Amino acid sequence: MTFSDLELYPPILRAIKECGYSEPTPIQQQAIPAAMAGKDLIASAQTGTGKTAAFMLPVLQRLYTKVKNPKGAPRVLVLTPTRELAGQVTEATRTYGKYVNFRSTFILGGMPYRNQFRDLSRPVDLVVGTPGRLLDHVQRGSLNLSRVEILILDEADRMLDMGFQEDMEKIISKTSTDRQTLLFTATMDNAMAKIAGKMLTEPERIDIAGKKNTLETIEQRLHVADSKIHKQKILEHLAQDTSLTQAIVFSATKREADSLAKELSERGHKAAAMHGDMTQGARNRTLRRLRDGRVRLLVATDVAARGLDIPGISHVVNYDLPQSAEDYVHRIGRTGRAGASGIAISFASRADVPKLQRIEKYIGNKVPVLVIPGLEPMTTLAVPPRKASHRRSPGGKKHAAAGKGGRPAWKKGTKPSGDQQKRKPRSERKAPEVCYR
Ligand code: AMP
């Protein structure tokens, strides 16, 4: 299938041609005709599948036909969970809509109200924004949603995760029931199905075989890390790798993102942090530096890096494993964009085993463990038997496991004595087997 087969107007086809896209991605092949036919859609598709164009091309097709609306009353509303994603959707809109005459604006939290009031006091066709600030404008009367013809909920699952359900529902209640609704979500669980049931009318379901296909182009690896220092050494080793063009390094906390970025910079790497405590202006500046290559290692927290679409990201490093398996898939989807290959490297200690097990169950695969010569871990991901003292011999008696002052029998042979371990340099020590898997 080609884009011409989708019967898009010539100005839209021209912009797509300039983007260098040779054919529509699977989500585009399915979603564009259905959306152009006016149907409600519920599409399970990760970022990186081309989902933005899947909803934006039908939107542009609609905006091509002019309708005169009152000021501040858009024809299309796109809700996104984060400012970064809203920024990217807006940018994609401008790229794909380069030859279509329409006005768009984005309305984000953390940005000055003054410009937003100004933008909304003019006729506007398309508004992209995050739920909190959009609702604020609706309640102040500066945004009129009664003329919305197409409502798009992008990364709807994430909006629920971030606690936006109530805001979303209030916003949607202000739109006309005649609207067309396109809902995009990476995951489809009961909560999402319930929301979809309330907001969509006889939707067409599109399921882009989800995570496994999207992850096919991403090589996943795992390093067992004993401690923070060990993690830093592995990260330094990875940073020296010249095949790493650009990487996003995920850390669990904002503070750690700052300190890790500082340490990497001090060691001569082009590193920067990005997290929710930074002002929108500072985040935008960092993003620009990442896009134009002045930053090679971006140390980020989940919310900040959500939805980032930077073609040069060759590696994603989970310095800290994420809390949820869905976040793991979102994180590693920052590399391997639109069919390019990418590498996702995670660090895990024994304490991370439950998280790792959840991730592996979710993606349906074990993540292969790699060991860097000279940086072998001293610990394993094996979970030791619980409460040795309660172990009983077949005769029902407690094990005299420890013998006289010795180690319990179940521990014998599983761990070299401290002395042995300390005396040998790391490079001569044997990597333990990873046996939880
Ligand atoms: P998205 O899933 O919307 O975040 O898109 C991921 C990436 O795919 C973006 O960098 C787009 O520019 C790119 N892309 C979208 N559609 C196509 C296509 N048909 N062919 C090649 N790349 C595409």
Domain co-membership, 73 together with 86: yes
Residue with tokens 């739920």: 131
**Domain interval for residue 372:** 212-383
406 within domain boundaries: no
Report the predicted TM-score, pTM, of the whole model to 2 decimal places. 0.59
Domain boundary among 338, 360, 383: 383
Residue 354's φ and ψ, nearest 5 degrees, are: -60, -40
113 within domain boundaries: yes
32 within domain boundaries: yes
Q: Report whether pLDDT(421) > 90.
A: no
Ranking 56-65, 209-218, 237-246, 328-337 by mean pLDDT, the lowest is 209-218
- Domain total for the chain? 2
323 within domain boundaries: yes
Pocket test for ligand 1, best of 52, 84, 152 (most atoms within 8 A of CB): 52
Domain boundary among 208, 240, 259: 208
Domain co-membership, 279 together with 138: no
Domain co-membership, 164 together with 221: no
DSSP E strands in 84-214: the ranges are 104-107, 126-129, 150-153, 180-185, 204-207
Domain co-membership, 245 together with 191: no
57/412 Cα distance (integer angstroms)? 64
Distance (angstroms) between ligand 1 centre and the Cα of 46 equals 11
Domain co-membership, 31 together with 167: yes
Domain co-membership, 197 together with 224: no
pLDDT digits (tens, 9 = 90+) for 49-76: 889 999 999 999 999 988 888 888 999 9
- What CATH number does the domain containing 238 carry? 3.40.50.300
423 within domain boundaries: no
Pocket test for ligand 1, best of 16, 25, 57, 213 (most atoms within 8 A of CB): 25
In this structure, which residue's CA is closest to atom 18 in ligand 1? 21
pLDDT value, residue 385: 53
Domain co-membership, 134 together with 261: no
Residue 10's φ and ψ, nearest 5 degrees, are: -50, -40
**What is the position in ligand 1's atom list of the atom closest to the CA of 49?**
2
Two structure tokens written together for 152: 């798009």
392 within domain boundaries: no
C-beta of residue 45 within 8 angstroms of C-beta of residue 184: yes
Domain co-membership, 242 together with 350: yes
Maximum separation of any 2 CA atoms in the chain, in Å: 90
pLDDT value, residue 318: 97
428 within domain boundaries: no
Domain co-membership, 323 together with 220: yes
The stretch 243-252 carries a mean pLDDT of 94
Q: Report whether pLDDT(117) > 50.
A: yes
pLDDT value, residue 43: 92
Q: Report whether pLDDT(10) > 80.
A: yes
364 within domain boundaries: yes
**Assign residue 247 a region: left if phi > 0, alpha if psi is -120 to 50, beta otherwise?**
beta
Domain co-membership, 71 together with 203: yes
Domain co-membership, 166 together with 241: no
% of the chain with per-residue pLDDT over 70? 84
Domain co-membership, 310 together with 366: yes
Domain boundary among 144, 173, 208: 208
Q: Give residues (CB < 6 A) around ligand 1.
A: 21, 24-25, 28, 47-53, 309, 311, 337-338
